[in-house]
């Protein structure tokens, strides 16, 4: 049973590492819209050999159109939230700045709030359900004081995810820590009891990116 779970997780990681590599080269600068260079990116993963991927940079316009194609596959609340193209670009820029897969971020928002920015669950607020007490110092550092504001909420969530990515072994562990108390996440991850929350977000992100990038 453990072997099956680990094997499945490795499969997800291989896919997500590949998709994340594409995202990390996104350029949201109009001055570089025609620039195409090859970058060599190396990923370190505790569950498999290091992966080195050569990535051709996408232009801003191409990535934006792919993102809009993905939005068409999501509920109407997502299309309403991202109706403004400037907000789409801001979202993609945040993901680039924090080296996050935008499709994974979309799927996390879908799971946390169904794309409704005014959702509240106790102390967890907004699109990414940020706990205002747990992340008070983070919010101060980022100069964010309104978790019901979509832009601010996404910035705080992205900053937290990037912090988790820098200390955890893979995206499954990252998402488990994001979604549950740290001690619970640690025990479950080390026991190979991976949460459906973490697995499903990754699966949906892979599917969404495949749709977005299909010719």
Kindly list the domain boundaries of the chain, sorted by start residue.
2-23+60-213
Region 61-68: what's the mean pLDDT? 94
Confidence (pTM): 0.74
Give me the mean pLDDT over the 176-183 stretch: 98
In this prediction, what percent of the chain has a pLDDT beyond 90?
70
- Work out the pLDDT band at 60, boundaries 50, 70, 90: confident
What local confidence, expressed as pLDDT, does residue 206 receive? 97
pLDDT at residue 44, as a whole number = 37
Question: Which residues contact residue 148 at a Cβ distance below 8 angstroms, ignoring those fewer than 6 apart?
Answer: 117, 118, 125, 126
Residue 12's Cα: distance from chain center in Å?
A: 14
Q: What is the CATH topology of the domain spanning 2-23+60-213?
A: Lysozyme (1.10.530)
- Residue 6's pLDDT is 36
Minimum mean pLDDT range among 36-45, 51-60, 201-210: 36-45
The Cα angle at residue 93 between residues 61 and 85, in degrees rounded to 5 = 55
Contact indicator for 123, 133 with CB cutoff of 8 Å: yes
Is 60 exceeded by the pLDDT of residue 88?
yes
1 pLDDT higher than 50: no
Which of 7-11, 58-62, 76-80 is the least confident region? 7-11
Contact (Cβ atoms closer than 8 angstroms) between residue 93 and residue 99: no
Contacts of 132 (CB under 8 A, 6+ apart): 123, 124, 125, 139, 147
């Amino acid at each position: 049973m453990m072997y099956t779970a680990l094997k499945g997780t490795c499969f997800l990681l291989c896919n997500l590492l590949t998709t994340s590599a594409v995202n990390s080269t996104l350029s949201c600068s109009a001055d570089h819209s025609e620039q195409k260079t090859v970058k060599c990116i190396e990923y370190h993963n505790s569950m498999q050999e290091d992966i080195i991927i050569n990535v051709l940079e996408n232009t801003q316009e191409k990535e934006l159109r792919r993102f809009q194609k993905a939005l068409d596959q999501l509920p109407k609340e997502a299309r309403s939230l991202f109706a403004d193209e400037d907000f789409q670009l801001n979202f993609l820029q945040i993901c680039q700045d924090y080296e996050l897969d935008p499709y994974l971020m979309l799927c996390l928002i879908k799971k946390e709030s169904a794309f409704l920015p005014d959702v509240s669950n106790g102390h967890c607020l907004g699109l990414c359900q940020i706990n205002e007490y747990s992340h008070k110092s983070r919010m101060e550092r980022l100069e964010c004081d309104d978790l019901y504001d979509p832009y601010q909420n996404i910035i705080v969530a992205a900053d937290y995810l990037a912090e988790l990515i820098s200390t955890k072994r893979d995206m499954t562990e990252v998402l488990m820590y994001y979604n549950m108390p740290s001690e619970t996440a640690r025990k479950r991850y080390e026991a190979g009891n991976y949460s459906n929350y973490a697995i499903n977000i990754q699966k949906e992100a892979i599917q969404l990116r495949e749709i977005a990038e299909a010719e």
